[in-house]
């Protein structure tokens, strides 16, 4: 039994913001009220901390199977726990691709020893090659929570249509990495004054928004659930807003690096190389606005670890991606909460009820619910040192950055998965 | 003098004073090119690694000759013979070179930022001999030396740069350099090679898509090489380029009568420049080559000759 006392319980799902004690027992939330006393329970004093429903990360890469020198399920889940995440959704672009139930089962099995819940995302198409549908129903039975060909867009409107119709019947969201391939080809950063100055090949914002426009129309055609991964452009966000206004089941996520950095921050340092690329200042502002006004449904990390051999090379040749679990909440507190852009309830929503809604599940602090909680401080001072990360990879541009606000404890199924 | 490694990675961060100092330092090395005996012993015992990861004839020979005339040895690595083809990383290749204890590395690479990247990983000076589309600083310096000799100064010039600006490291380095001396710079070429962001590179830069207008009153015309492979992109038929942008005698007549023509070479005659223009009295092309030796000798002398690096050159007063 775990008794979390004196924390400020903030739960958007139940509209709670009050100092309450929470008792966890048998993996579930057993009780919730002020002044709980339970003899024999391990007591955590959460005074001064926020106690939120367990954070969900809709978008990460764990590299297992196939690239275990960059990350394993165990190491990635360890980093996620340090970031306050209680459930993470790894994308299927492993080797082999998670496009059939045996790969899904193997991931789920390997994840059983992990400190946080691992909810795999299956491929849309066989091998994520964009030709024919993957074995989605079988993967669902084995445990996937969504489908995506992440790393690439769903190749054609026709394939997307089939996937959305099929997944509508299976009640799964289709997550798309939106990118028009011909505009993307050869590009390594966002096109703009910075790319022209650096002589790096840039892609315009329309690389993403052209594909978002296609996807929204296919969502309308099929009535399926569409989720736009790592949205990075103002035009894309406008398309999502319009779709929501028309009542379509369209959602989107934004990463911490896209709402924190702009292309002016990009150096000849491959830690800044990520896809979609770090956007312009105007785009970043639009993302911050969307995070504040409710147009953005979730913050997702797109945690993308890469071993040094893939990153310590010329910018042009480096792999896309940066790690993100351990800095996500602190960046969100810095950029959204301390800046006054969003209140505490909305901040928590972006990590909890928001992503839960995308997956079509509930996430709340109530008796009988799973004992997954994220405890964090809004002002704890700390500095992120990548050498201390639990990830096997070191590709974070936030190494050395100091924060006020941090995850303090991660509780999964009633047990402490990590504490600061 | 501070213990610092001086690199030459780009023109952009340099001040006009640093560039002027640099050009002044090149003067004695220009004179050496006219001597019957051109070899000095200044850098005897020193060695220069020439790491060329992209095909280059002129720049490589220029650096090799500059090193030889200063008495330095060179170790040369070329793309075709490099271990890159065997999958070795750039860092590993450069560390291998560094282990042979050269006194500096001259790096040519197809990736923008490659020189910056390598400079962070080695303990000896790095000279950028062209990195992707980013910069080619020694080219801009030799161009500036050529212009200064012919015009008596660099201040307040009207300069027109013609061709594929967006894919040109020569254009970027020249824009940064000449702008620091107050040049009015007009960029001219096909619109898709002329993104508006180029105007933000430095003060005094404008774009113009009509060559006649771009050349009007120019003191200096820099024609860039048009890379055939760019013409193969879904972009522009060769004949369209020639019709609209080839530098012909009649077009050059719109510039000032004493306007200089510079070209970084190699010239593709009949494409970017009409042959009679390339060979005409306004052409500085061969002077550029000779000045390239002087500039590179001065650079090697400054960086490894024991008198400190470019970082130690006088700084701008602001």
CATH code for the domain of A216: 3.20.20.140
Query: Closest partner residue to A196 among B12, B117, B195, by Cβ?
Result: B195
Are residues A312 and A282 part of one domain? Answer: yes
Q: What is the pLDDT of residues B236-271, one digit of tens each?
A: 888 999 999 999 999 999 999 999 999 998 998 899
Q: How far is CA B109 from CA B51, B60, B61, B163, B281, in A?
A: 8, 12, 16, 22, 34
Mean pLDDT, residues B174-186: 98
Inform me whether the C-beta atom of residue A268 falls under 8 Å from chain B C-beta atoms. yes
Co-location of B59 and B104 in the same domain = yes
Q: Is residue A79 part of a domain?
A: yes
Q: How far is CA A314 from CA A269, B81, B114, in A?
A: 8, 19, 6
- Whether chain B has a CB inside 8 Å of the CB on A185: the answer is no
Interface test with B, best of A182, A192, A203, A268 (most B CBs within 10 A): A268
Q: Is there a catalytic annotation at residue B27?
A: no
Q: Are residues A75 and A11 in the same domain?
A: no
**Total number of domains constituting chain B:** 2
Residues B83 and B212 in one domain: no
C-beta of residue A59 within 8 angstroms of C-beta of residue A300: yes
Residue A106 CA to residue A110 CA, distance in Å, equals 6
Find, in chain A, the residue whose alpha carbon is nearest to that of B134: A199
Residue A398 in tokens: 């936030």
Tokens encoding B207:
């774009």
Q: Could you tell me which residues of chain B have a Cβ less than 8 Å from any Cβ in chain A?
A: 12, 89-91, 109-114, 116-117, 131-135, 166, 169, 172, 195, 197-198, 200-201
Whether A187 and A272 map to the same domain: the answer is yes
Judging contacts by C-beta atoms under 8 Å, the chain B residues touching residue A196 are 166, 195, 197-198, 200-201
**Whether B170 contacts B181, CB under 8 Å:** no
Boundary (domain end) residue, out of A337, A359, A381: A359
Query: How far is Cα A23 from Cα A43, in angstroms, rounded to an integer?
Result: 9
Q: A322 has which bridge partners?
A: A303
Same domain, B82 and B145: no
Question: Is B128 contained in some domain?
Answer: yes
Q: Looking up tokens 């995506």, which residue turns up?
A: A148
* B121: closest chain A residue by CA: A312
Q: Which residues of A touch B116 (CB under 8 A)?
A: 268
Q: Are A153 and A176 in contact (CB under 8 A)?
A: yes
Which uninterrupted H or E stretch holds B20?
helix B16-32
User: What pLDDT score was predicted for residue A328?
Assistant: 98
Phi then psi for B45, rounded to 5 degrees? 90, -15
- The single residue of B46, B59, B138, B225 carrying the catalytic annotation is B59
Q: Quick check: is B7 in a domain? A: no
CB of A18 within 8 Å of a chain B CB? The answer is: no
The average confidence (pLDDT) of chain A is: 98
Between CA A399 and CA A277 the distance in angstroms is: 19
Asked if B242 and B189 sit in the same domain, the reply is yes
Q: Is B276 found in the same domain as B145?
A: yes
Question: Looking at residue A295, what is its pLDDT?
Answer: 98
**Tens digit of pLDDT for each residue in A53-93?**
999 999 999 999 999 999 999 999 999 999 999 999 999 99
- Are the C-beta atoms of B10 and B19 separated by less than 8 Å? no
Average pLDDT over residues B23-44: 91
B58 plus B99 within the same structural domain: yes
**Could you tell me whether strands A174-176 and A146-148 are parallel, antiparallel, or unpaired per DSSP bridges?**
parallel
Query: Backbone phi, then psi, for A416, in 5-degree steps?
Result: -75, 115
Mean pLDDT of A341-366: 98
Which DSSP symbol is given to B207? Answer: E
Ranges assigned E (strand) in B30-88: 47-52, 73-78
B35 or B139: which leads in pLDDT: B139
Whether residues A121 and A213 share a domain: the answer is yes
- Measured CA to CA, the distance from residue A240 to residue A265 in angstroms comes to 27
CB A155, CB A162: distance < 8 Å: no
Element (H, E) at B170: helix B169-180
Mean pLDDT of chain B: 90
State the smallest CA–CA distance between residue B158 and chain A in angstroms. Answer: 22
A87 neighbors A54 (Cβ within 8 angstroms): yes
* Tens-place pLDDT, residues A374-412: 999 999 999 999 999 999 999 999 999 999 999 999 999
Angle A210-A213-A214 from CA coordinates, rounded to 5°: 90
- pLDDT tens digits for B73-96? 999 988 765 555 567 899 999 999
Q: Are the beta carbons of B63 and B106 closer than 8 angstroms? A: yes
Asked if residue A84 is part of any domain, the answer here is yes
Same domain membership, residue A415 and residue A293: no
For residue B30, pLDDT over 50 is answered with yes
- Number of domains composing chain A: 2
Q: Indicate yes or no: pTM above 0.90.
A: yes
Cis geometry, peptide bond prior to residue A300 (ω within 30 degrees of 0): no
Structural domain includes residue A364 = no
Residue ranges making up the domain that contains A223: 54-359
Same domain, A147 and A276: yes
Would you say residue A204 lies in a domain? Answer: yes
CATH number at residue B98: 3.40.50.1370
| Chain A residues within 8 A of B203 when measuring between CB atoms | none
Domain carrying residue B299: 16-136+289-311
Q: In this structure, is residue B6 part of a structural domain?
A: no
If asked whether residues B130 and B148 sit together in one domain, one would say: no
Nearest to B112 among A309, A313, A315 (CB): A315
Do residues B93 and B178 both lie within one domain? Answer: no
Q: Are residues B278 and B178 in the same domain?
A: yes
Cα–Cα distances (Å) from B44 to A171, B67, B71, B74, B301, in that order, read: 76, 10, 5, 11, 11
DSSP assigned state of B293? H
- Test mutation, B95, B117, B130, B201, chain A, max A CBs within 10 A: B117
What is the DSSP secondary structure assignment for residue A96, as one 8-state letter?
S
Read off the tokens for A43.
């007591």
What's the distance, Cα to Cα, between the start and end of chain A in Å?
A: 20
| A126 and A20 part of one domain | no
Residues A117 and A185 in one domain: yes
Q: Which of B99, B75, B97 is nearest to B84 (CA)?
A: B97
Q: Could you count the other beta carbons within 10 Å of the beta carbon of residue A45?
A: 11
A307 in the same domain as A347: yes
Q: Residue B77 has what pLDDT?
A: 87
Residue A28, domain CATH: 2.30.40.10
A200 and B113 within 8 Å at the Cβ level: the answer is yes
Q: Which two tokens stand for residue A293?
A: 């006004």
**Are A77 and A20 in a shared domain?**
no
Helix (H, G, I), strand (E, B) or coil at A173: coil
Answer whether A308 touches B (CB < 8 Å): no
Q: Specify if A100 maps to a domain.
A: yes
Any idea which of A5-19, B281-295, B304-318 has the lowest mean pLDDT? B304-318
Decide if B3 is inside a domain.
no
* Alpha-carbon gap: B164 to the closest alpha carbon of chain A (Å): 13
Q: Are A183 and A211 in contact (CB under 8 A)?
A: no
| A191, A269, A316 ranked by CB distance to B132: nearest | A316
- A4-40 exposure pattern, b = at least 16 Cβ within 10 A, e = fewer: bbbbbbbbbbeebbeebbbbbeeeebbebeeebebee
- B132 shares its domain with B172: no
- Domain assignment present for residue A142? The answer is yes
Over range A353-367, report the average pLDDT: 97
- Nearest in space to B80 (alpha carbons), one of B106, B60, B96, B105: B60
Q: What pLDDT is recorded for position B38?
A: 85
| B318 pLDDT more than 50 | no
Q: Tokens representing A234?
A: 């103002």
- Asked, for residue B258, whether it belongs to a domain, the answer is yes
* Structural domain ending residue among the three candidates A311, A336, A359: A359
Reduced to 3 states, what is the DSSP secondary structure of residue A380? strand
Question: What radius of gyration, in Å, describes the C-alpha atoms of chain A?
Answer: 20
How open is the CA angle A6-A7-A11, to the nearest 5 degrees? 140
> Nearest chain A Cα to B109, which residue?
A314
| pLDDT digit string, tens, across residues A17-44 | 999 999 999 999 999 999 999 999 999 9
Query: Of the residues A310, A338, A359, which one is the last residue of a structural domain?
Result: A359
**A60, part of any domain:** yes
What backbone phi and psi angles, to 5 degrees, belong to B52?
-110, 105
CA B44/CA A8 separation, integer angstroms? 73
Chain A residue whose CA is closest to B94: A313
Give yes or no: residues B63 and B53 share one domain.
Answer: yes
Do A26 and A131 lie in one domain? The reply is no
Residue corresponding to tokens 């820099």:
B222
Residues B76 and B200 in one domain: no
Q: Is the domain of A42 the same as that of A67?
A: no
Which of B114, B169, B195 minimises the CB distance to A314? B114
**How many Å lie between the alpha carbon of B253 and the closest alpha carbon of chain A?**
32
Band the pLDDT of B37: cuts 50, 70, 90.
Answer: confident
Read off φ and ψ for residue B128, nearest 5 degrees.
Answer: -80, 115
A29, A371 in Cβ contact below 8 A? yes
Helix pair angle (B137-151, B285-304), 10° resolution: 120
A59 within some domain:
yes
Chain B contact present for A312, CB below 8 A: yes
């Amino acid at each position: 039994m775990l008794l979390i006392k004196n924390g400020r319980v903030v739960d958007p799902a139940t509209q709670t913001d009050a100092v309450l004690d929470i008792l966890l027992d048998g993996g579930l939330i057993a009780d919730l009220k002020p002044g709980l006393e339970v003899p024999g329970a391990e007591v955590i004093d959460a005074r001064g901390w926020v106690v939120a429903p367990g954070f969900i990360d809709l978008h990460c890469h764990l590299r297992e199977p196939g690239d275990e020198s960059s990350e394993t399920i165990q190491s990635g889940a360890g980093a996620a726990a340090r970031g306050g995440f209680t459930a993470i959704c790894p994308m299927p672009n492993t080797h082999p691709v998670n496009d059939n139930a045996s790969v899904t089962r193997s991931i789920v099995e390997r994840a059983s020893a992990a400190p946080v819940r691992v909810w795999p995302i299956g491929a849309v198409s066989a091998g994520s090659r964009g030709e024919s549908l993957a074995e989605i129903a079988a993967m669902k039975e084995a445990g996937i929570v969504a489908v995506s060909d992440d790393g690439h867009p769903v190749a054609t409107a026709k394939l997307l249509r089939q996937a959305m119709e099929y997944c509508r019947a299976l009640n799964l969201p289709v997550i798309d990495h939106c990118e028009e391939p011909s505009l993307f080809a050869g590009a390594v950063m966002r096109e703009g004054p910075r790319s022209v100055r650096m002589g790096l090949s840039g892609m315009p914002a329309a690389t993403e928004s052209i594909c978002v426009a296609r996807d929204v129309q296919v969502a309308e055609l099929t009535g399926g659930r569409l989720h736009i991964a790592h949205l990075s452009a103002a035009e894309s966000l406008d398309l999502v807003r319009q779709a929501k206004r028309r009542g379509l089941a369209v959602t989107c996520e934004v990463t911490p690096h896209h709402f924190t950095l702009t292309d002016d921050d990009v150096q000849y340092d491959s830690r800044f190389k990520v896809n979609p690329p770090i956007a312009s200042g105007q785009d970043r502002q639009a993302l911050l606005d969307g995070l504040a006004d409710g147009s953005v449904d979730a913050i997702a990390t797109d945690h993308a670890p890469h071993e040094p051999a893939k990153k310590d090379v010329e910018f042009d040749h480096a792999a896309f991606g940066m790690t993100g679990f351990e800095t996500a909440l602190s960046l969100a507190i810095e950029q959204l909460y301390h800046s006054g852009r969003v209140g505490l309830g909305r901040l928590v929503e972006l990590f909890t009820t928001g992503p839960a809604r995308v997956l079509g599940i509930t996430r709340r602090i109530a008796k009988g619910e799973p004992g997954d909680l994220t405890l964090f401080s809004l002002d704890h001072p700390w500095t992120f040192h990548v050498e201390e990360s639990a990830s096997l990879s070191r590709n974070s541009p936030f190494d050395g950055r100091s924060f006020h606000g941090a995850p303090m404890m991660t509780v999964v199924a009633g047990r402490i998965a990590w504490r600061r | 003098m501070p213990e610092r490694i001086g690199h030459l990675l780009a023109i952009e961060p340099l001040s006009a004073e640093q560039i002027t100092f640099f050009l002044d330092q090149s003067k004695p090395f220009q004179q050496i090119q006219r001597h019957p005996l051109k070899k000095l012993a200044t850098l005897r015992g020193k060695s220069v690694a020439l790491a060329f990861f992209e095909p280059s004839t002129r720049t490589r020979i220029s650096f090799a000759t500059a090193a030889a005339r200063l008495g330095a040895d060179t170790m040369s690595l070329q793309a075709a013979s490099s271990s890159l083809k065997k999958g070795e990383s750039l860092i590993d290749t450069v560390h291998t070179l560094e282990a042979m204890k050269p006194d500096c590395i001259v790096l040519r690479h197809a990736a923008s930022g490659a020189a910056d990247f390598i400079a962070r990983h080695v303990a000896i000076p790095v000279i950028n001999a062209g990195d992707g589309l980013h910069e080619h600083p020694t080219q801009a310096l030799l161009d500036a030396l050529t212009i200064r000799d012919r015009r008596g100064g660099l201040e307040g010039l009207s300069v027109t740069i013609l061709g594929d600006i967006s894919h040109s490291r020569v254009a970027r380095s020249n824009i940064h350099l000449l702008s620091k001396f107050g040049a009015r710079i007009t960029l001219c070429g096909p619109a898709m090679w002329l993104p508006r962001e180029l105007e933000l590179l430095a003060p005094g830069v404008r774009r113009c898509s009509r060559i006649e207008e771009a050349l009007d009153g120019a003191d200096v015309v820099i024609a860039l090489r048009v890379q055939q492979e760019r013409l193969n992109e879904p972009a522009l038929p060769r004949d369209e380029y020639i019709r609209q942008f080839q530098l012909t005698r009649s077009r050059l007549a719109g510039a000032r009568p004493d306007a200089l023509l510079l070209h970084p070479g190699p010239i593709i005659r009949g494409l970017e420049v009409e042959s009679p223009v390339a060979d005409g009295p306004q052409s500085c092309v061969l002077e550029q080559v000779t000045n390239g030796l002087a500039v590179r000798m001065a650079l090697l002398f400054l960086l490894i000759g024991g008198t400190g690096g470019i970082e130690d050159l006088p700084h701008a007063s602001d």
